[in-house]
Structure 1
Amino acid sequence: MSPTRRPALPFLLLSSLLALPLTGTAADTGASDRWTKQLSVGGGVAPRYSGSKDYQAVPMLSFEATSPGGWFLGTGGVGWSTTVAGRASLRGYVSASNSRRDKDAFLEGSDHLRGMGRIRSRAMVGVAGSYVVGTAVLTAGLQYTPRDSDRGDNGLATGHAVLGVDVPLFALAGGKLSATGSAEYGNKGYMQTWYGVTAAQSASSGFRAFTPKAGFHSAGLGLTWRRELGARSDWFISVEGARLLGDAADSPIVQKANQFTAISGYNRRF
């Protein structure tokens, strides 16, 4: 199962969660007695940052190699995964957190945030699990990023949780259509980092000062169409609409509470 989605940075959003065709069925949770490798390539469009009204084209490129013992290494991080009774999976990993610039930059910034300062990527630890119920797949994940004392309020320790569900619908145009749903929760540090405005940031950016509380900050619905191209490859198209909630939606840096993402890609398993 891929690491939990992190919505602030389009590239990581597309390179981790939207490689989701790898986790969509009960068969995907089966253990392997050999090395497996997986490559995903594609591209799409996503907001410049969580809450932006501007969109940009983003690439998707991810690779992961998994040993017979469950250890894995790839663009989504390094860690260990296991399956339980053929219907559940669990993974722990260390990866890189999101980043954001306060200027237009390739994949991670917007001029609208001028004066907000840079949020740098740093080490992040996470756990994620899935459970098959009938034909549906339930998912949950937790991520924790330690404090970066050199970055002040842009380097707070953050905690983030995501709940999700993937439900197959019906066959369509030679492939299969499924629906997805998600809800995301951030602790106070997470909300302050991505949606808050400190007094210093207010003075340099012109945004009003804002201190958000911990809580659910996003809920989304999506559709994914996937067509098998062989025993080890598939092509998919995925679209998602998400709504920022609570203090996230009320943040002065948020231009639009409704956020949309679309991507198409190719998966190959070796």
Structure 2
Amino acid sequence: MNSICLILAMAPVSLMTLTSAEAATPTPDRWGFEVMVGAGVAPRYSGSDEYTAVPQLGFEVSAPGGWFLGSSGLGWGTSLGERGSVRAYLGGSGSRRDKDALLGGSDYLRGMGEIHTRALAGVDGSVSLGPTLLSASVQYAPKDTDRGDNGLATRQVQLSLEVPLFDVAGGSLSARVSTVYGDAGYMQTWYGVSAAQSARSGFARHTPSAGLSSAGVGLKWVRPISVSSSWFVGVEGNRLLGDAADSPIVQRKTQLGAMGGYQYRW
């Protein structure tokens, strides 16, 4: 299940990736339910050197025929043979505030303006290569004409590879590596500083080009409690790259996150 921070909608670096062991396998012949509750620590925004607590809540309801409704949105998924699956969905994009608040953001960004949540269309796919899981995600958010430089159309592509390592302390440990690519609109939205933003905030102007924005590596430990439930703990480090790392709003290029929680399926 792709969980989402319901309390803290952060920038591209988030704890969301820590809770996604694999894309949920579609079950077209029956109903399915899944919930996840957890908490962790993460940067206030992508590039921040301040950290904040992150309560998390995720859920998903799947219906016969491959339809699902959950934290990632409303969509449809299907299996691709015995090893692959694909899902398409409509949901909401991330957001960022330019002041310290319960929903994230930072006073350091004063004058940058808020990035509001808007409609998002996504496609996720995964394929099992033996015990290794290769996943890809493509997301698109249309332009918000009312938000100026904070409402550009964005396209984001994420690739990840998850490999099981070994069993330890009654659970299984796995490692994950990932990269994120963003188009010019994505990079400008999250890491750029326009002329108007520069005048309000004091940051130097910055116009990033499309390219890789980050690369990450993480570890996750999952301990089954029953056939339907399990505990999990994850840690992840992300390194901002290229024009994203060179942004004047970035205080720290390498960032860490951690969380733990409980997942139940029935």
Say whether the fold is shared (TM-score over 0.5): yes
CA distance in 2, matches of 1:183, 1:111: 28
Shift of 1:20: 1.4
Q: Are the counterparts in 2 of residues 136 and 168 from structure 1 also a CA contact under 8 Å?
A: yes
Q: Are the counterparts in 1 of residues 11 and 190 from structure 2 also a CA contact under 8 Å?
A: no
- The alpha-carbon distance between structure 1 residues 254 and 10, as it changes in their structure 2 partners (threshold 3 A), is closer
Shift of 1:136: 0.3
CA distance in 2, matches of 1:107, 1:11: 15
Q: Are the counterparts in 2 of residues 11 and 60 from structure 1 also a CA contact under 8 Å?
A: no
Q: Structure 1: where are the runs of 5+ without partners?
A: none
**Equivalence for 1:18:** 18
- The alpha-carbon distance between structure 1 residues 185 and 3, as it changes in their structure 2 partners (threshold 3 A), is farther
1:74-94 superposed Cα distances (whole Å, 9 cap, x missing partner): 122100011111210100000
Runs of 4+ in 1 over 3 A off after TM superposition: 10-14, 28-32
**Equivalence for 1:249:** 245
TM value normalised by structure 1: 0.93
Q: Are the counterparts in 2 of residues 4 and 162 from structure 1 also a CA contact under 8 Å?
A: no
**Equivalence for 2:97:** 101
1:41 matched to 2:42: no
State the SS of the aligned residue for 1:152. Answer: helix
Shift of 1:12: 9.5
1:144 matched to 2:140: yes
The percent of aligned pairs where both chains have the same amino acid is 56
Q: Are the counterparts in 2 of residues 48 and 107 from structure 1 also a CA contact under 8 Å?
A: no
Q: Are the counterparts in 2 of residues 102 and 109 from structure 1 also a CA contact under 8 Å?
A: yes
1:179 to 172, 175, 181: 175
State the SS of the aligned residue for 1:29. Answer: coil
1:57 matched to 2:91: no
Q: Are the counterparts in 2 of residues 79 and 91 from structure 1 also a CA contact under 8 Å?
A: yes
1:121-172 superposed Cα distances (whole Å, 9 cap, x missing partner): 1000000100000100000010000000011111000000000011000011
CA distance in 2, matches of 1:9, 1:246: 20
CA distance in 1, matches of 2:218, 2:111: 34
Q: Are the counterparts in 2 of residues 4 and 128 from structure 1 also a CA contact under 8 Å?
A: no
- The alpha-carbon distance between structure 1 residues 66 and 30, as it changes in their structure 2 partners (threshold 3 A), is closer
**Equivalence for 2:128:** 132
1:20 alignment partner AA: S
Q: Structure 2: where are the runs of 5+ without partners?
A: none
**Equivalence for 2:163:** 167
Q: Are the counterparts in 2 of residues 12 and 98 from structure 1 also a CA contact under 8 Å?
A: no
Shift of 1:68: 1.6
Shift of 1:10: 6.7
1:158 to 154, 179, 182: 154
How many residues were matched structurally?
Answer: 264
1:185 alignment partner AA: Y
**Equivalence for 2:262:** 266
